[in-house]
Amino acid sequence: MIEHVAIWTSRLELLQGFYVRFFGARAGPPYRSVRRPLESCFLSFEGGARLELMRLPDLPPGQGPDPRTGLAHVAFSAGSPAGVDRLTSELRAAGHTVVSAPRTTGDGYYESVVLDPDGNVVELTAEGPPAPRADGSGG
């Protein structure tokens, strides 16, 4: 079982606010290492998932175009197709980049894709298993 996923950022407070506002995260207390200039914060989500945001001074920006080796995306359930539509519209209205509008993907998921303030790819999905494929196989 995955315990948590971590993201490096130079804008810890901005990312924390994004995930709290749009995904209902609960921010834990900030952590500051006494041995090195590391700061971090754990965000907890309904259902037990956790995301750690970590910052170092002078952190270099991510390198290379997508797709690249590393974390591909983080997916959040918006509950239903209507939830995906609503949250996508809310994020767009708040000035966040919508990479792909809500749609049903080839593997049967209803989803949209947005970028967080650092450019990390975030999928918004409807709950439930993917619909069966046109060839009759499962998702």
pTM attached to this predicted model = 0.80
Does 138 have pLDDT greater than 60?
A: no
Does 20 have pLDDT greater than 90?
A: yes
Owner of token pair 């409807």: 126
pLDDT in tens, 29-60: 999 988 888 899 999 999 899 999 998 887 77
pLDDT in tens, 61-107: 776 666 566 678 999 999 999 999 999 999 999 999 999 999 998 77
Q: What is the pLDDT of residue 127?
A: 74
Query: What does the alpha-carbon distance between residue 33 and residue 59 come to, in Å, rounded to a whole number?
Result: 16
Strands (E), 17-62: 26-27, 31-32, 39-44, 50-55
**Which domains, ranges and CATH numbers included, belong to the chain?**
1-57 (3.10.180.10), 71-131 (3.10.180.10)
Q: Count the residues in the chain.
A: 139
Which is more confidently placed, 1 or 105? 105
Q: What are phi and psi of 17, to 5 degrees?
A: -60, -40
